[in-house]
Amino acid sequence: MLALRGVFTGFDRIHTGSGNVNVIKVGDRYIIRFEENFDVANGPDLYVGFGKDGEYLKGSEIGELKGNIGSQNYEVPEGINLEDYNEVWIWCRAFSVGFAKASLSPSI
């Protein structure tokens, strides 16, 4: 069941991103799904994590970015409450900089 959705945007001409992201509920767990049109600038040490109201929350990483183009899935670990966040981020841990983020909203 589709629970949340968003669209990635970048931060500047170097840190670019685009494409759809969906949060899917499967039983009692959640999957973050980047769709086929996902595209983010390539960079070092990129992770998928969460933010709230335009600010990345360090330590929220759920996995290393699998690739900078195309569909991919990330399971949200137990203990992470998605209600604490309203954004999915692509975050560079090496330089503490965001590459892209997607604001999440309920699916209709």
pLDDT at 107 over 90: no
Average pLDDT, the chain: 96
Q: How far apart are CA 92 and CA 102, in angstroms?
A: 15
Return the closest-CA partner of residue 102 out of 77, 31, 91.
91
Phi, psi of 82 (to 5 degrees): -65, -20
Arithmetic mean of pLDDT, 85-106: 97
- What confidence tier does 29 reach under pLDDT thresholds 50, 70, 90? very high
Report whether pLDDT(108) > 70: no
Phi, psi angles (nearest 5°) of residue 76: -80, 120
Report d(CA 72, CA 4) in Å as an integer. 16
pLDDT digits 0-9 by tens, 57-86:
999 999 999 999 999 999 999 999 999 999
Does position 2 have pLDDT exceeding 70, yes or no?
yes
